[in-house]
């Protein structure tokens, strides 16, 4: 195996929320003036991990502050040269896009990019392919490796087959929260959250996964703690259309194409997310996310050649979010939050207008992923271990030596 760790890192001038509902809105961004960025803590934790060959940092930042963000990220990476880090920003992405456009001229160029959760993940897979890495370990910058066996645990079982002859080509670990627990908060949800809380179903599934064998078939995929082998990622890309939740969506994409995601209950990371600037922004993204997921799965199940996905096979979680029950939950939650809590006017707008718009939009784009899916294997084949492209990429993406007096 030749594993690489890929870390998307999101930056902005400030952590103020952007316009809700837009592509390119992320759960959290790091202000370029933050004294100790999450990325620094993440890379620091990887210093003690055995077997790290290379770390790819995907720099996601708006154009008006990308250079400043690049300076911060380069400075951080220079302090961790033992990790052999490279930084992929817009310049490197443009280089890759030129090659991709030649390989698949009819493919939407935004499908492999540094904007939108799914497209960013695809960029990570593209860079890994160029450099010849056959195993990609995704880690978010707000997560911390717990011990030196992080990569050993990531590789455990990968490439083998189960007793039933099923291949293990993609595996998820588990997040530990600030209390050191893999379970969601068990406190009774507030009145406004009665129909939005997923903790009961999630905890039921998690209890079952933690109580069984070390590796079992998974219903979840933790985007900041999962590993995927080339057998799978060379055939199945992430969906660039989805607003958020691209990790769980990737589980569905893999199942459609004959792969299962597996859960390793011994592979864990500490998850330390910063505060969310706007709950309404995240809620609206989830409105679009679940509306799209429902329509996409309907479209997939109607196509010949793809394995069908049923909500029943995903009980207790996330089954109810893949049926029309999700629409009822969205409406009730938007109404309740419009009555009680902050950002009431935004929730009222979601209840009255945005939910309907999301459903119309989801229906109109539900089949776009399947067109992209046909181009992906050719793209990866073109990029795979491309020596000339790799040389150019590394010359651009490798941070130079630390200048005297320079700070991260």
Give me the residue label for tokens 């969506």.
249
CA distances from 403 to 43, 86, 121, 201, 406 (A): 20, 17, 32, 52, 5
135 pairs with which residues across the strands? Answer: 3, 229
The Cα–Cα gap between 151 and 212 comes to 22
Res 24: pLDDT: 55
pLDDT at 401 over 70: no
H or E stretch including 404? Answer: none
Mean pLDDT within 336-343: 93
Mean pLDDT within 27-48: 93
The Cα–Cα gap between 101 and 115 comes to 17
Phi-psi label, residue 189: left if phi above 0, alpha if psi -120 to 50, beta otherwise: beta
Q: Does the model's pTM come out above 0.85?
A: yes
pLDDT at 299 over 80: yes
C-alpha count within 13 angstroms, C-beta hemisphere, residue 271: 19
pLDDT at 37 over 80: yes
Q: In CATH, what is the architecture of 3-276+368-396? A: Alpha-Beta Complex (3.90)
Beta-carbon count within 10 A of 358 CB: 24
- The predicted-structure confidence for 83-137, as pLDDT tens digits, reads as follows 999 999 999 999 999 999 999 998 988 999 999 999 999 999 999 999 999 999 9
- The predicted-structure confidence for 173-198, as pLDDT tens digits, reads as follows 999 998 899 998 878 888 999 999 88
β-strand 55-60 against 85-88: which pairing, if any? parallel
Please, which pLDDT band fits residue 279 given cuts at 50, 70 and 90? confident
pLDDT at 402 over 80: no
H or E stretch including 237? Answer: none
Mean pLDDT within 322-334: 96
- The predicted-structure confidence for 348-364, as pLDDT tens digits, reads as follows 999 999 999 999 999 99
H or E stretch including 59? Answer: strand 55-60
Q: What is the CA radius of gyration of the chain?
A: 21
Res 15: pLDDT: 67
Res 163: pLDDT: 83
* DSSP 8-state code for residue 167: B
CA distances from 285 to 57, 160, 241, 250 (A): 25, 37, 12, 17
pLDDT at 18 over 70: no
Using DSSP's 3-state secondary structure scheme, residue 376 falls into helix
Report the mean per-residue pLDDT for the chain: 92
* DSSP 8-state code for residue 273: P
Please, which pLDDT band fits residue 227 given cuts at 50, 70 and 90? very high
Peptide bond into 165 cis (omega under 30): no
Residue 181: alpha-carbon gap to chain centroid: 21
Res 25: pLDDT: 67
Helix 387-397 vs helix 90-103: crossing angle, to nearest 10: 160
């Amino acid at each position: 195996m030749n594993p690489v760790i890929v870390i998307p890192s999101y930056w902005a001038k400030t952590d103020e929320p952007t316009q809700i509902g837009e592509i390119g809105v992320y759960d959290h961004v790091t202000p370029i003036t933050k004294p100790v960025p999450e990325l620094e803590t993440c890379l620091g934790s990887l210093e003690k991990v055995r077997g790290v060959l290379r770390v790819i940092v995907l720099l996601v930042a708006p154009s008006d502050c990308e250079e400043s963000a690049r300076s911060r990220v380069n400075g951080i990476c220079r302090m961790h040269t033992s990790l052999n880090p490279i930084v992929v920003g817009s310049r490197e992405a443009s280089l890759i896009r030129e090659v991709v456009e030649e390989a698949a001229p009819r493919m939407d160029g935004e499908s492999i990019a540094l904007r939108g959760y799914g497209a960013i993940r695809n960029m990570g897979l593209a860079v890994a392919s160029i450099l010849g890495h056959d195993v990609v370990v995704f880690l978010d910058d707000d997560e911390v490796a717990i011990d030196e066996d992080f990569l050993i645990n990531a590789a455990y079982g990968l490439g083998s087959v189960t007793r039933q002859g099923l291949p293990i080509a993609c595996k998820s670990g588990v997040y530990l929260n600030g209390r050191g627990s893999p379970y969601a908060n068990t406190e009774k949800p507030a009145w406004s959250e009665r129909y939005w809380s997923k903790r009961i179903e999630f905890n039921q599934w998690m209890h079952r996964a933690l109580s069984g064998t070390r590796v079992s078939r998974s219903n979840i995929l933790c985007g900041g703690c999962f590993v995927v082998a080339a057998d799978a990622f060379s055939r199945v890309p992430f969906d660039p259309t989805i607003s958020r939740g691209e990790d769980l969506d990737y589980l569905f994409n893999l199942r459609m194409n004959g792969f299962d995601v597996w859960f390793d209950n011994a592979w864990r990371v500490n998850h330390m997310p910063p505060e969310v600037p706007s709950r309404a922004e995240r809620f609206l993204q989830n409105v679009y996310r679940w509306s799209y997921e429902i329509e996409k799965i309907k479209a997939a199940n109607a196509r010949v050649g793809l394995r069908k996905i049923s909500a029943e096979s995903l009980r207790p979680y996330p089954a109810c979010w893949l049926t029309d029950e999700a629409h009822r939950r969205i409406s009730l939650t938007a109404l309740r939050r419009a009555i009680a809590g902050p950002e009431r006017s935004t929730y009222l707008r979601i209840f009255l207008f945005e939910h309907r718009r999301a459903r119309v939009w989801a229906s109109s784009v539900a089949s776009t992923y399947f067109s992209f899916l046909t181009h992906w294997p050719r793209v990866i084949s073109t990029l795979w271990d491309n020596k000339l492209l790799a040389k150019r990429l590394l010359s651009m993406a490798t941070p130079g030596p630390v200048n005297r007096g320079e700070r991260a």
